[in-house]
Structure formats: C-alpha cells, structure tokens
Amino acid sequence: MKKPNTNCRRCEEPFTEGNPRTRRKDWCICVKCYNLYQLNWKKDNPDYRALWNARAKVVIPQYKEKYKTIVFNAYGNACSCCGETIREFLTIEHKNGRGGEHRRKRNFLGVLIDIIRAGFPPEYCLLCMNCNWVERKGKVCPHKLAKLQIVGPVEGKVA
C-alpha cells in the first residue's frame, strides 16, 4: 500500500486548506510551488503560447481522428437510417436531438470523449448528412417511410 501523499514534494510542507495540493493529479506538489514552477517555466519559455498553439494544431486533429474512428467503429461505420458508409458523409447524432446543445457545451472532441467514456450509449447513432438534415427539420426520413410502406424508394423530390 502506498501511503497517501500529505506533503509537498518540493517544499515538503504539508498540504493545507490555504495551500492545497495542485489539482494536477500526477503532481504531488502544493499550489504555491506549482505556481512558482509555472512562472519559471513561462520565463524560460517566452514563446510557450506559440509553442502550445502549434502543438495543439497538430495534436488536436490527430485526437479527433483517432476518437472519431473509435466512435464510428462502435456505431457500425454506417448511417443508421440508410446505411451510407462514406465516412465524410457521416455525423454523430444524439437521438433526442440534444447533440447541438451538448456540442455547444463541449466541443466535438469533448463529445467524442464523452461517448467513449459512457461506453457508447444507445442514445447516439450515426446519420449521414442527408438523413440528418431531414430529421433535423423534424420530419421522418423518406428512407424510413419507404421501409414502413414497403414500397421501395420514395419517388420525387423531398421538399
């Protein structure tokens, strides 16, 4: 058993309410030491913002792709309505139509992470742009109507 860390590893003072352990889980140092460390680090790395942004530009799309693949695989890599499998056409949809709300609170990457953490809940599905667009207007997708009526594809334009 590891004993709980009650003292800062840097200044060796015990953590107190006024000077608690930093919220960074992997760091066992007090807030004061952490702030000092950050201050020094920023001094040593005056262009840290540019560095960070440059890194984010590369890393975030990589994560997005990676997590998108995981989520798409879990939901069958196809539109749950018409079976479209072209990845570029597919979007993640919250079945209660709350995807937009969720996305406003958490960005796309956040939504992906939430879905993975939640173990791919059935409230989500993949829809292609076409089916997504129709359902967003509050209509039943013509694909579904076609299936219900067992008459094959609906003819004519979808207004």
92 touches Zn ion by CB under 5 A: no
Number of residues that bind Zn ion (CB under 5 A): 13
User: Number of C-alpha atoms within 13 angstroms, CB side, residue 122?
Assistant: 0
Helix axes 48-74, 108-117, angle to 10 degrees: 50
- Closest approach of Cβ 138 to Zn ion, in Å? 14
Contact predicate 113/66, CB 8 Å: no
Residue 111 interacting with Zn ion (CB under 5 A): no
Here's the x/- map for Zn ion, 18-57, by CB under 5 A: it reads as ------------x--x------------------------
Interacting stretch for Zn ion, rule CB under 5 A, among 20-28, 54-62, 71-79, 101-109?
Answer: 71-79
Where do contacts with Zn ion occur on this chain (CB under 5 A)? Answer: 8, 10-11, 30, 33, 79, 81-82, 84, 128, 131, 141, 143
